Amino acid sequence: MRWTIKAKPEQKDIDVLTSALNVDELVAQLLLQRGISTYEEAKKFFRPQLSELHDPFLMKDMNLAVARIELAIENNENILVYGDYDVDGTTSVALVSSYLLSYYPNVATYIPDRYGEGYGVSYKGIDFAEDNNFTLIIALDCGVKAIDKVKYAKDKGVDFIICDHHRPGDILPNAVAVLDAKRDDCEYPYDELCGCGVGFKLIQALGSRQGETIDDLIPYLDLVATAIGADIVPITGENRVLAYHGLEVINSAPRIGFKAIINQIKKTVLTITDVVFVIAPRINAAGRMKHGQHAVNLLTETNIEQAQKFANEIEKFNLDRRSLDQEITKEALVQIQENKEEEGFTSVVYKESWHKGVIGIVASRLIETYYRPTLVFTKSGEKLAASARSVKGFDVYNALQGCSDYIEQFGGHKYAAGLTLDENQYGNFKHQFEKVVSETIDPALLTPEISVDAKIKVKDITPKLMRILKQFAPFGPGNMTPTFMAEKLQDSGYAKGVGGEGAHLKIAATQDGWGPIGGIGFNLGDKLPLVINRRSFDAVFSLDENEWQGNVSLQLKLKDLK
């Protein structure tokens, strides 16, 4: 791994912030590295207020979207709330549909079948709308590139409102309204909302027309926080406010569906990390293994007994998903190893029987072993479908644009994308993808990087520091958990491998007579020889609390040792 130590801010800036906030220099340094340089900015960071949310009508087309929904209600039209089958899509659909249903009955939901319809707006979904007399579709977390499909709907007398956060193409669909802060002509102050975040801005706008305040919409923020965590959007600006207050809802007054999941995992206080690794995979498992509508049913259920049944069903999907992704990852790793002679800047693997619902997870797992842009293909109907994942610093979406001659359709983000192509184009695509990546990637990006915020000494690791660092949460892109480096550590003689086959490393570190402080390094068991016999070593870690038999102690969560 590459250890990159962030530049230390100017000492004068550190001194000014240290004095203004009455904090240690280290805390001032961490804040400055996050772009926080004044008392006011720090106050907003540590105490995000819902009053800081932007006016939803600053978003291009918001007035058109609200007017069309109000017209639909006035005319007693049927409204279909349509969203993608992942966490962002299903939470979006649950949010907008449950909000509309709170005062208007003619609302239904539609999640496309991952296997029968694929990603985004589908012709089948539009036909469903026409057959069932829906004259307005609100599409969430998808649709910004659905030019032909929106036209197809319009020809059938079905209008579209699109709420998306993906990058638009050169031409926008001819919808009644296209809400997407990434539009070139949209001057909305924050363009990193997830799909559910855009859906929230829509209900915020609708609510303001009925005299509702932001406080009336707080119960919907558990959905928004879950989507923000799951979709790995930056937890900065408006997303930080929404995630912060959404986590409070999850922990104090979650909707019945979340309560049913939390009952299963038996955890009292959930962080954004728990949302990402515990709640989100369960919601996702419905769309991966069966159908995304199961997730919407759970998230909109108001009866706890029924919600518990839905949650148990989804838990089974999640267990099935886990065993499948482990099995397919093993097969994919074998495929990469067998093709070692072709090894280059990318990993591209394919097997027609692989389950389409887990290929994205498998692509992420492969990057853990072979750190390079990765595509996992499977057969989907007559076509091949793939999930793409990237390494830090490399835009896989742009790389796919460079291969567009061989792709039928694709969409996504810098680090994650999906695509389909004709089977006979697989070889050409694979060759072109390798060519594009090899010509555009900085080879240094093929070695995983650990970004270190600051050097620290063991004597400075105190409960007070930990209390302040906990207030930096929620963590995520744009505000990652602070990572530290300590030099010339020694183990007190306690170091050992723990877990199956000693996979993890447990230490008790000292430095210059200070300590010991415990440390745990998951999957770092092979580093044990570096620390035994009181050898001197450097470590990169975040700080964590270890709770054992009612006692809470600070520990180092080790990331790498040298």
For residue 471, what is the domain's CATH number? 2.40.50.140
What lies within 8 Å, CB to CB, of 35 at 6+ separation is 41
Domain that holds residue 530: 2-8+451-561
Lowest mean pLDDT among 40-54, 199-213, 386-400, 540-554: 540-554
Rounded Cα–Cα distance for residues 20 and 12 (Å): 12
Rounded Cα–Cα distance for residues 475 and 480 (Å): 5
Virtual CA dihedral for 277, 465, 9, 2, nearest 10 degrees? -50
Same domain, residue pair 208 and 193: yes
Rounded Cα–Cα distance for residues 19 and 38 (Å): 10
Number of domains in the chain: 3
pLDDT in tens, 495-542: 999 998 899 999 999 999 998 999 999 999 999 999 998 899 999 999
Residue pair 363/369 in contact by the 8 Å Cβ criterion = no
Task: Tell me whether residue 150 is in a domain.
Answer: yes
Q: Which of 413, 446, 479 is the last residue of a domain?
A: 446
Rounded Cα–Cα distance for residues 157 and 155 (Å): 6
DSSP string, 315-360: HHHHHHHHHHHHHHHHHHHHHHHHTGGG-SS-EEEE-TTS-GGGHH
Mean pLDDT confidence for 81-92: 94
Residue whose C-alpha is closest to residue 376's, from 368, 384, 388: 388
Q: Calculate what percentage of the chain has a pLDDT beyond 90.
A: 83
- Asked if the model's pLDDT at residue 285 lies above 70, the reply is yes
Biggest CA-to-CA distance, the chain: 79
Q: Indicate the pLDDT class of residue 548, thresholds 50, 70 and 90.
A: confident
Residue pair 510/492 in contact by the 8 Å Cβ criterion = yes
The predicted structure's pLDDT at residue 343:
67
Task: Tell me whether residue 34 is in a domain.
Answer: no
Q: Phi/psi at 231 (nearest 5 deg)?
A: -90, 0
* Residue showing tokens 């707080």: 218
Two tokens at 307? 């919600």
Angle formed at CA 291 by CA 101 and CA 79, multiple of 5 degrees: 25
- Which amino acid appears at position 471 of this protein? Q
Same domain, residue pair 110 and 230: yes
List 455's β-bridge partners, or say none.
485
Residue pair 414/356 in contact by the 8 Å Cβ criterion = no
Mean pLDDT confidence for 299-310: 94
- Asked if the model's pLDDT at residue 106 lies above 90, the reply is yes
The predicted structure's pLDDT at residue 524:
94
N- to C-terminal Cα separation, the chain: 10
Residue pair 1/392 in contact by the 8 Å Cβ criterion = no
- Asked if the model's pLDDT at residue 192 lies above 80, the reply is yes
Lowest mean pLDDT among 49-63, 305-319, 331-345, 372-386: 331-345
Task: Tell me whether residue 193 is in a domain.
Answer: yes
Lowest mean pLDDT among 183-187, 240-244, 352-356, 545-549: 545-549
Mean pLDDT confidence for 317-328: 91
Mean pLDDT, the chain, whole residue set:
93
Sheet holding 374-380, edge to edge: 347-350, 374-380, 383-389, 416-422, 409-412
Same domain, residue pair 468 and 408: no
Same domain, residue pair 98 and 210: yes
The predicted structure's pLDDT at residue 446:
93
Distances (CA, A) of 477 to 141, 232, 377, 384, 448: 19, 7, 27, 31, 16
Same domain, residue pair 552 and 426: no
Same domain, residue pair 434 and 461: no
Mean pLDDT confidence for 210-231: 96
Same domain, residue pair 399 and 473: no
Task: Tell me whether residue 188 is in a domain.
Answer: yes
Same domain, residue pair 418 and 485: no
The predicted structure's pLDDT at residue 552:
84
Same domain, residue pair 304 and 398: no
Task: Tell me whether residue 321 is in a domain.
Answer: no
Structure-model confidence comparison of residues 545 and 267, the more confident one: 545
In terms of pTM, does the model score above 0.85? Answer: yes
Q: Indicate the pLDDT class of residue 342, thresholds 50, 70 and 90.
A: low
The predicted structure's pLDDT at residue 551:
85
The predicted structure's pLDDT at residue 339:
79
Beta strands 134-140 and 409-412, pairing class: unpaired
Rounded Cα–Cα distance for residues 304 and 282 (Å): 17
Cis peptide before 443 (omega within 30 of 0): no
Same domain, residue pair 277 and 382: no
The predicted structure's pLDDT at residue 493:
87
Same domain, residue pair 280 and 348: no
Task: Tell me whether residue 500 is in a domain.
Answer: yes
pLDDT in tens, 395-452: 999 999 999 999 998 887 788 889 999 999 999 999 999 999 999 999 999 999 999 9
Two tokens at 47? 């105490």
Q: Which of 446, 470, 487 is the last residue of a domain?
A: 446
Q: Which of 426, 446, 466 is the last residue of a domain?
A: 446
